Amino acid sequence: MKDLMKDRIEQLVNYIMKNCLWQFHSRTWDRERQNEGIITKTMELLCEEPVKHETPEDRCYWVDAVCLADAFQSRYPWLAAMDKPAIKLLMQGLKDRVDYLTIKGSLNLELTDQHY
Amino acid sequence: MPYHEFECSTCIPERKKHAVVKGSGEDLTSALPLGYLNTIPGSISERGCAYCGAKHVIGTPMKDVIHISHGPVGCTYDTWQTKRYISDNDNFQLKYTYATDMKEKHVIFGAEKMLKQNIKEAFKAFSNIKRMTIYQTCASALIGDDINAVANEVMEEMPDVDIFVCNSPGFKGPSQSGGHHTINIAWMKDKVGQIEPNITSDYVINYVGEYNIQGDQEVMMDYFKRMGIQVLSTFTGNGSYDELRAMHRAHLNVLECARSAEYICNELRVRYGIPRLDIDGFGFEALSNSLRKIGLFFGIEDRAQKIIEEETARWKPELDWYKARLKGKKVCLWPGGSKLWHWAHAIHEEMGVDVISVYTKFGHQGDMEKGISRCEEGALAIDDPNELESVEAMLKLKPDVIFTGKRPGEVAKKIRVPYLNAHAYHNGPWKGYEGWVRFARDIYNAINSPIHKLSYLDISKDEIPTDKGFVTPRMISDINLSEDVTSSLKLRQYTGKYDSLADLRKKTYPSFERQSVDAA
């Protein structure tokens, strides 16, 4: 079960890494904000929960989340068979993995620069 | 860490950490080269300097401006026309280049008087142009000329002109990327917010990090206009000086080349609350996603969807014609900074080629993160390569084609590797749906040109075949293709025009009724 979850997370990570740019903003604080904003909203869309998109910033995260949720649903049919708690668990695992690859485990020495 | 050490660079041990192989099971936490560091002494880099990055990448694409270098004439002349950032005002900014022609006597006695005289002469010679940018060079920086003071004096004397000064001398380094950073911040600090624009749409964007290489910007403008979006400014390809002073009034910054222009987007976000949306104008899927996102942001997704459907139906059969013939071809993707990640996945998925190596001359580690993520296992990633390393890599990897700049491209030709100009393009524009097919056509022609087979023959020792005369690219490319592909009625070669921009420039667009009236 654990391996299945891990495998599914890697499939989603692979899609993000190959197709998206939002996870690679140039500073740690930016990446934290981007990952949190977009992956959380994607989870809310996949779980059919209300998604905030009133402010320009939220709206920007939301458009990336809409495209990501659509891509996940069209490419990974196993997602449709998952219930909401399982999707939340999956998306938390996805966020942890993307955070690790782009922030916590990143070898990018510019991430901690205090200025843009 | 899967570092790759070049045989030719064993005498420069620091170089080892600048190249990695993306092996099986490797990810960004284990495979990432160093980047954006000073070039190591002894390694003959292919990079440009910080002056060139500021002036010739970011500043000069502005079309209605006299761009003048305060320094020796070689600084501007030797970097002039290295890119094909055309404009719709008869390429004014490309046709002329200006320098104050600083010499030894100016180094000793100062060059401010001479600079002032040059500024006035230039405005007099081009009396219809009222905007100017001035670029510091190593020489004028070292003698301490106060360019800003001179510019302010001239603006007081000539109230109808406006001058922007960029203090980014070549040594400011570590590469042209340092110049990108400097000019972004300087423009933000000195010019943004000075002009209030006329808002004509409910949907207003700045199109940032787009340089109109062979018309890329004009292609994307066509999509934006069809969606009823007002592009307040383009930073900076085909962009206007005064429009760029009004960037603060946009609702959204649409960012194409994050490497060269993310700084101004980030500052606009911090100072004016304008969000930043990163997009990809290259590749059918990436472009479609990009248009859709912009449409979603403004609540006009249907307009984006219409364009996506029309353009895909028109151009996909042509893209697929080339994909069938490019499948499995080996590519070294060796551009300057951003195209390694713009193209790596898209050319693999949509053209069928295998990216066996990526490199960046001036990119940061962030660019390598994107590039390495987007290429397949086994790819060799190199930061700031020197010429010997490039040659060693080509001899080892034996690519079918490389995409790189003019200087390394000519080196590639000498060892019989076809190259396409990744910076200035061959037969661009390459952005947009049609542009992507033009790119595929250029790749196809580069790989399958009969000249490459002939060039392998050495007339001093090889036997020259006399029984084979006429050869065409299709005789080379179609030899192992199935009948289904060669006689497909669905697939077809590029059918666009030689000049794909002429019709765009004459095109008229529907007007969309506004829902609100902007107070600004």
pLDDT in tens, B132-157: 999 999 999 999 999 999 999 999 99
pLDDT of residue B458: 85
Instruction: Tell me whether the omega of the peptide bond preceding residue B486 falls within 30 degrees of 0, making it cis.
Output: no
pLDDT of residue A2: 78
Contacts of B489 (CB under 8 A, 6+ apart): none
Q: Taking the CB of residue B29, how many other CB atoms lie within 10 A of it?
A: 14
Of all residues in chain B, what percent carry a pLDDT higher than 90? 89
B276–A100 C-beta distance less than 8 A: no
The CATH topology of domain B50-190 is Rossmann fold (3.40.50)
* Residue B459: DSSP 8-state: T
Average confidence (pLDDT) over B287-297? 98
Pair B161, B131: CB distance under 8 Å? yes
- Tell me how far apart the alpha carbons of residues B45 and A14 are, in angstroms, rounded to a whole number: 33
A62–B273 C-beta distance less than 8 A: no
pLDDT of residue B351: 98
Of A17, A66, A108, the CB nearest to B365: A108
- Integer CA distances (angstroms), B504 to B217, B307, B482, in order: 11, 15, 38
Pair A17, A98: CB distance under 8 Å? no
B36–A110 C-beta distance less than 8 A: yes
Q: What are the chain A neighbours of B277 within 8 Å (beta carbons)?
A: 60, 63-64
Mutate to test the interface with A, among B27, B177, B265, B367 (most CBs of A within 10 A): B27
* Residue B202: DSSP 8-state: S
Whether pLDDT at B112 is above 50: yes
The confidence band for B166, taking pLDDT boundaries of 50, 70 and 90, is very high
pLDDT in tens, B436-460: 999 999 999 999 999 887 888 888 9
Minimum CA–CA partner of B369 in chain A? A24
- Tell me how far apart the alpha carbons of residues B276 and A38 are, in angstroms, rounded to a whole number: 13
Average confidence (pLDDT) over B485-492? 96
The confidence band for B50, taking pLDDT boundaries of 50, 70 and 90, is very high
The confidence band for B213, taking pLDDT boundaries of 50, 70 and 90, is very high
Q: Counting every residue, how long is chain B?
A: 520
Residue B299 gets the label, from left (phi > 0), alpha (psi -120 to 50) or beta, of left
Please state the separation of Cα A29 from the chain's center in Å.
Answer: 16
Average confidence (pLDDT) over B187-213? 97
Whether pLDDT at B516 is above 90: no
For residues B71, B35, B408 and B182, what is the CA-based torsion angle, rounded to 10 degrees?
-30
The confidence band for B520, taking pLDDT boundaries of 50, 70 and 90, is very low
* Residue A26: DSSP 8-state: S
Please check whether residue A59 touches B, CB under 8 A. yes
Phi, psi for residue B188 in degrees, rounded to 5: -60, -45
A106–B369 C-beta distance less than 8 A: yes
pLDDT in tens, B90-108: 999 999 999 999 999 999 9
Average confidence (pLDDT) over A24-48? 97
Average confidence (pLDDT) over B276-297? 97
- Tell me how far apart the alpha carbons of residues B441 and B439 are, in angstroms, rounded to a whole number: 5
Of B32, B294, B297, the CB nearest to A107: B32
Contacts of B371 (CB under 8 A, 6+ apart): B333, B340, B341, B344, B358, B360, B363, B381
- Tell me how far apart the alpha carbons of residues B63 and B354 are, in angstroms, rounded to a whole number: 37
Whether pLDDT at B485 is above 80: yes
Structure tokens at B384: 């700031």
Average confidence (pLDDT) over B25-52? 92
Mutate to test the interface with A, among B28, B341, B358 (most CBs of A within 10 A): B28
**Mean pLDDT over all residues of chain B?**
95
Instruction: Tell me whether the omega of the peptide bond preceding residue B13 falls within 30 degrees of 0, making it cis.
Output: no
Minimum CA–CA partner of A65 in chain B? B293
CA distance A85 to chain B (A): 28
Residues B149-168: b if buried by 16+ CB within 10 A, e if exposed: ebbeebeeeeeebbbbbbbb
Looking at the structure, give the CATH architecture of the domain made up of residues B316-486: 3-Layer(aba) Sandwich (3.40)
Instruction: Tell me whether the omega of the peptide bond preceding residue B465 falls within 30 degrees of 0, making it cis.
Output: no
Pair A22, B278: CB distance under 8 Å? yes
A19–B293 C-beta distance less than 8 A: no
List chain B domain ranges: 50-190, 204-311+501-506, 316-486
pLDDT of residue A115: 74
pLDDT of residue B418: 95
Minimum CA–CA partner of A59 in chain B? B297
| DSSP 3-state of B283 | coil
- Tell me how far apart the alpha carbons of residues B19 and B370 are, in angstroms, rounded to a whole number: 15
pLDDT of residue A113: 85
pLDDT of residue B494: 98
CA distance A11 to chain B (A): 13
Please state the separation of Cα A84 from the chain's center in Å.
Answer: 16
DSSP bridge pairs for B419: B402
For helices B176-190 and B258-272, the axis angle rounded to 10 degrees is 30
The confidence band for B517, taking pLDDT boundaries of 50, 70 and 90, is low
List chain A domain ranges: 2-20+38-104
A108–B263 C-beta distance less than 8 A: no
B273–A57 C-beta distance less than 8 A: yes
Q: What are the chain A neighbours of B250 within 8 Å (beta carbons)?
A: none
Instruction: Tell me whether the omega of the peptide bond preceding residue B236 falls within 30 degrees of 0, making it cis.
Output: yes
Structure tokens at B386: 């020197």
pLDDT of residue B478: 96
Instruction: Give CATH for domain B204-311+501-506.
Output: 3.40.50.1980
Minimum CA–CA partner of B374 in chain A? A18
Contacts of A51 (CB under 8 A, 6+ apart): A41, A44, A45, A62, A65
Q: Please name the residue that has the structure tokens 């180094």.
A: B107
CA distance B409 to chain A (A): 27
CA distance B35 to chain A (A): 9
Please check whether residue A17 touches B, CB under 8 A. yes
| Amino acid letter, B230 | Q
Contacts of B104 (CB under 8 A, 6+ apart): none
DSSP bridge pairs for B131: B162
A56–B251 C-beta distance less than 8 A: yes
pLDDT of residue B80: 82
What is the predicted ipTM?
A: 0.97
Whether pLDDT at B515 is above 60: yes
Whether pLDDT at B475 is above 70: yes
Whether pLDDT at B518 is above 80: no
pLDDT in tens, B337-395: 889 999 999 999 999 999 999 999 999 999 999 999 999 999 999 999 999 999 999 99
